[in-house]
Chains A and B, each alone.
Chain A
Amino acid sequence: MRDNALLNQQQHDTELLNLLPKAMKDDPTAEKLASFLDKISYKKIPTSSFSRMWLLGSLHTKVTAGYLAYWLKSRFADEDKKNRLKNEAHLAAALQLFGTMGYLRGAVLKVGQALANLPELLPDQFAEILDSLHFEAPAMHYSMIREVFLDEFGAEPEQLFAKFERKAFAAASLGQVHRATLHTGEEVAVKIQYPNIAQTIQADVRSLRLLLQTLRFSDQWASLHAKLEDIEQVLLQEADYLREANFYQQAAEMFSNPDEKIIVPKVFIEFTRQRVLTTEYLQGVHLQEFLAQEPTQAQRDAFCHLLNISSLRPYYQRKWCIADPHAGNFIFMPDGCLGLIDFGCIRVLNDEEWRLNCELEQAVIEDDEAKFEQILAKASYFDSPADMSAEHLALLKKFSLWAFAPWKAKGALNFGEKDFYLNGMDCFIELMRKGYTQGDPVYLWSNRFILGYRVMAYRLRGSAVLSTIFQQERPFRYPH
């Protein structure tokens, strides 16, 4: 058993090293960093549930820590040796702190592309990692669930429901999901939040802000600071299940026509509180299981079509940026319907952000290059495109054109085409590697929105005719 564990550990080490950026492996100081990372990764604390919270236990978490280290280190690359060493000492302390943060690792994972670089990853690995970028709250046993219910409803689960399964059937961001049956007979999914998560998020973001203090004199500090504020806000909103229930209800209004085959489960508001969310249970499977059934191309295309509608309608009708689209949030139902089961991480664009996005979209559609460049510069906190380096501007344009490619595609666009997918991912990764991350915090979420859906559609290997979807979903037309 022990040998197996050791073997697994070694495999993990190798995988981790393979995943780490090459530059980090070649750089002698990075070796020190890697060994430090290694040391804190295996700091042993007695129980497994502890390890989930306190150790850099999973491969993905280790990779993220690695990227965080790499990203922080790259900020110091141009400094002299003395300063670099000083900064590396800060970095070691930062990583130590990072290793002890209960939930922040999840937060960093969630916004991985903004706070930690993801360079040198193969697109498939990127897809896999992006898919697992969510908060991992520790498991709750049933006695704890009962206490949450007593706090929230003043009643035990058995009193509220005709049947309540003691074991969770799925992990959720910030908690876990149990199946239950209402006294009226409906099958429901009950999402329960781990106690005190909102306060923990606040404490962790405070710690992160502190550990990033070493960057306070850098030119990106203001942008980073604004992003942290935004991240904290969105994560805290995600911890409010009453807010999520409201998003569910709005989404249900948007997708009320059953012929459209997009299903938003009904919320049972009388069984919902700030930390408990009860929704209709949807029969079906997640993406991986759906793909394992070897679906036909027609089935893949049909779901790809639904996936696009499910993202674009909330965007155009309610200015929603669904900021955490991953496989766990979609149900592929047996009757060909697509179930949408998570509305926790939604960033609603404000008027200014919306106006800028619309202008950008219009500039792309109308091939107005000057306007396009001007808006990109503004979004990246530059006065004009002339203030940006040629490389920065070129990369940003390339990525934005890729993001908007479906808007301009004629006929069906094959999202499963590797070249198309690679084109965008490479470009995004390059932007991150070069440190071209300065910009309005909203792009943290819109990037996740775009990348998340692209990853899903790529894995689905589906095609969709976007022009029809835009015609149907976009409530306005641009003058041409």
Chain B
Amino acid sequence: MRISQQAKQENRNKILTVAKELFITKGFEDTTTRDVAQATGMATGTLFNYFPSKETLAMHIVRKALQQGYEDYKNRKTGEENLSEELYLFIFSGLRKLQPYHSFLGPVFERSLSPFPRKTLCVEGEATKKNQLHAVSRIIHSHGFDMSENTMISIMYWSVYLGILAFWVNDESPKQQESHAFIDYALHFFVHAISGTEPQLRNE
């Protein structure tokens, strides 16, 4: 039986809603695709028509959240930010949208974004990486630096970003306050490395 595009979209949304709920309540590791399919009221095989793996499903949630974060960043940006400040705004706008999923994102990132060689690549993970690097490349470019694909700067940024995500998912401090300080540090470090300039200080 063929189903309409609208019904497909509805199913997709339903799967995403149910998966978010299960990941938050049971955790990513303890939730199976079968659990998601059952709770959605569809066969496991049918679910795979929409999302080929649990990782893809979770990373889709991540990618959408980061996209919303990117929109927020564009709205919040004043144009007066220096490079590290703007990157901070960009990264935090994304993290705020990821915040509701903070409890289950550790293993998701580990499996989908790991920079180490893997048998299978997570399509959504790769798309997330591409989107992030593209957005950052534009930011960096607007401050007079170049960050083309696969250049040293791009690799460096991605390493810094993965470090930030790793720190953030492990951050149990109230409102992830430790991450604020860490990200500030990390970005000053990155910006100094690519620009050779020193950020302006409060009393200077």
Q: Which residues of chain A have a CB within 8 Å of any CB of chain B?
A: 46-50, 52, 138-144, 146-148, 150-151, 156, 166-168, 171, 176, 194-196, 199-200
Assembly CA distance A47 to B187 (angstroms): 11
Q: Is the CB of B201 within 8 A of A49?
A: yes
What distance in Å separates the Cβ of B80 from its nearest Cβ neighbour in chain A? 7
What distance in Å separates the Cβ of B159 from its nearest Cβ neighbour in chain A? 17
What distance in Å separates the Cβ of A315 from its nearest Cβ neighbour in chain B? 33
Q: Is the CB of A143 within 8 A of B188?
A: no
Q: Is the CB of B82 within 8 A of A141?
A: yes
Q: Which residues of chain B have a CB within 8 Å of any CB of chain A?
A: 76, 80-82, 84-86, 88-89, 92, 96, 173, 175, 177-178, 180-181, 184-185, 188-189, 192-193, 198-199, 201-204
Pick from B80, B178, B193, B201: contact of A166, CB below 8 A.
B80
What distance in Å separates the Cβ of B72 from its nearest Cβ neighbour in chain A? 10
Assembly CA distance A139 to B184 (angstroms): 10
The 8 closest A-B pairs by CB, nearest first: A139-B202, A195-B180, A196-B177, A195-B177, A143-B89, A143-B88, A141-B85, A143-B85
Q: Is the CB of A194 within 8 A of B181?
A: yes
Q: Is the CB of A52 within 8 A of B201?
A: yes
Residues of B within 8 A of A176 (CB): 202
Q: Is the CB of B180 within 8 A of A49?
A: no
A151 and B175 in contact, given A171-B203, A195-B180 (Cβ under 8 angstroms): yes
Residues of B within 8 A of A143 (CB): 81, 85-86, 88-89, 92
The chain A residue sitting closest to B175, CB to CB, is A151
Pick from A138, A142, A168: contact of B81, CB below 8 A.
A142
The chain B residue sitting closest to A46, CB to CB, is B192
The chain B residue sitting closest to A199, CB to CB, is B173
Pick from B175, B180, B184, B201: contact of A48, CB below 8 A.
B201
A150 and B189 in contact, given A139-B202, A143-B85 (Cβ under 8 angstroms): no
Assembly CA distance A52 to B200 (angstroms): 12
Residues of B within 8 A of A168 (CB): 202
| 11 A-B pairs (CB sep. < 8 Å) | A47-B189, A47-B199, A48-B199, A139-B203, A142-B81, A147-B88, A148-B180, A151-B177, A156-B76, A195-B180, A200-B181
Q: Is the CB of A141 within 8 A of B192?
A: no
Residues of A within 8 A of B84 (CB): 141
Assembly CA distance A291 to B203 (angstroms): 22
Greatest chain A CB density within 10 A among B184, B199, B201 is at B184
